[in-house]
Amino acid sequence: MVKKFFARANGKLSVGLAASLLAGSTLISSLLGLYREKLLLTNYYDHYPQGIDAYKVAFTIPDFMFFLLVSGALSVTLIPVLNQRLAAGNKKSAWELCSSLINLFAIATFVTSILIIIFAEPLIQYVVAPGLDEDTRGLAVSLMRVIAINPFLFSISTVLASMQQAVGRFFFYALAPSIYSLGIIIGILVFTNKITIFGVTVFQGGIMGVALGVVLGSILQLIVSSIGMIGMNFSYQFKIFWKNLGLRQVLKLLPPRSIDQGIDYFNNLVEINLASRLASGTITAYQVATTLHMVPITLIGVAISTAVFPKFTEQLARGRDDLFRKEIRIFLRIIIWLALPVAVIAFLGRGYLVSFIKVNGAPEIADILGTLAIAILFRSIYHLASRTFYAKQDTRTPLYISIGTIMLNIALATWFVLVLHIGVFGLAAAQAIVSFVEVSILFTIMSQRLKGLFNAAFIGAVLKMVSATGLMFIVTYVMIKKFNLTSVGNDTFSLLPPFVLIVSVSFVSYLLFSRLLGIEEANPILQRIKQFALDRVRPVV
């Protein structure tokens, strides 16, 4: 029974099924993440904003080093090279490559974790959050030293997850983020309480317990990623095969993508630096709004692009550039069609969304989310657009674009906050502007390198999607006005029914407008709805 379960869970999935699995698991992970934020906001935002700000700050350097050294850099560089070797039947070279990466990243991140522990205080005081008061800074230092183990644990689990992704295994890959969030939730619910054994206090609890939950989540994620390797017949060796051509190729591709990831997170460091100069709780407010706007981006852009990326690399390895271009158009259209209405819901329903994770709402968080909602469409597109370059093993073009747009984002954010004094909303406005600029540049280069990619049919379909979204905007606006927050209770049970009704009516109207305008992406959903209705009324023979 157990063997059969693992065989099915670790089986290779089609792109459609993989995307559905990733979207579903991402939804669960996002809901757990939002529940985690709800617990943090409930316990600390109003009563101890300095504590939750310190917790948010503590993640910056460990996360920055992980993104710089490993993270998405590994998945987009390892998968094409690994697939080439597996397609050629050269498993020996493939497993030597993977063993080398596990060992290399483990060593690099272990050293990094030690350095973070040693230099946590000056990093926070002079680099990350110079605006924090002395007590908050001291707490952030202690929390960072606990969380410093994350890059080491994440590096190993990321290599294992990328290997599974390369061969089309997505079950445990998709499960791991939810397990990580679950560990943090356990930390909030259990470790924040005083722990005594036989009458002796062994742990005082408090927000330090949340940091212990982070470490627990990282360990659990590594365990789940390891379970996903069952049946792959991976031959691990405790050695770095420097002469392996695949390793050399990955290490050659890695620096541009690593710098790209590092620059993206460096932008986050600058934002926290600026936010630390504002009122207590501002760092948390901005990061919570950022988390909320990232949920649909992850569900749509990340899930779809992650699922389709191995297919892109396979088609290019087979020399099928025609199918490569065709599928780019197909999945870009799907992402745009899904992201447009979601961005409208996030913008108009921002008060509801914030109230779900913070009792009585938080106007500042809602207003930040409203600004960031503009970026949902462009950030969702970005993940697929950038992967078209990575599939061709071009990691430099996205890097150069990222350098330019991050510089623009930093300049705008600094100008808005320190010169125009528009506060935290300046950070959100800079993000929204830059997301549009970045995708525009990517599209321009894509259209030049992949002739005929954005043909008349594609442009016409996008214009129809924008029109359908505009009509849906009116419907959603009317619904929001009818069920405004002042006429609804403050608890989740009071908020949920009107919000579900608003979202349902909005998306049904969007489907109908899409059908009337002849948008193909609506047809499969409408067909399933029609089939479901027929099944309900069809007489039993």
Q: What are the pLDDT digits (tens) for 168-223?
A: 777 887 888 889 999 999 998 988 877 666 666 655 668 888 899 999 999 999 99
Hey, is 484 helix, strand or coil? coil
The answer to which of 51-55, 132-136, 369-373, 530-534 has the lowest mean pLDDT is: 530-534
pLDDT (0 to 100) of residue 271: 92
Hey, is 201 helix, strand or coil? strand
Hey, is 492 helix, strand or coil? helix
pLDDT at 101 over 80: yes
Residues 100 and 161: their CA atoms lie apart, in Å, by 15
Which residue, 122, 123, 121, 126, is CA-closest to 138?
121
Answer yes or no: are the C-beta atoms of 505 and 474 closer than 8 Å.
Answer: no
**436 CB-near residues (< 8 Å, 6+ apart):** 374, 375, 378
Average pLDDT of the segment spanning 112-124:
94
pLDDT at 72 over 60: no
Residues 60 and 55: their CA atoms lie apart, in Å, by 10
Answer yes or no: are the C-beta atoms of 473 and 514 closer than 8 Å.
Answer: no
pLDDT at 254 over 60: yes
Strand partners, 203: 195
**How far separated are the first and last CA of the chain, in Å rounded?**
36
This prediction has a pTM of: 0.79
Q: What are the pLDDT digits (tens) for 265-299?
A: 788 889 999 999 988 888 989 989 998 999 899 88
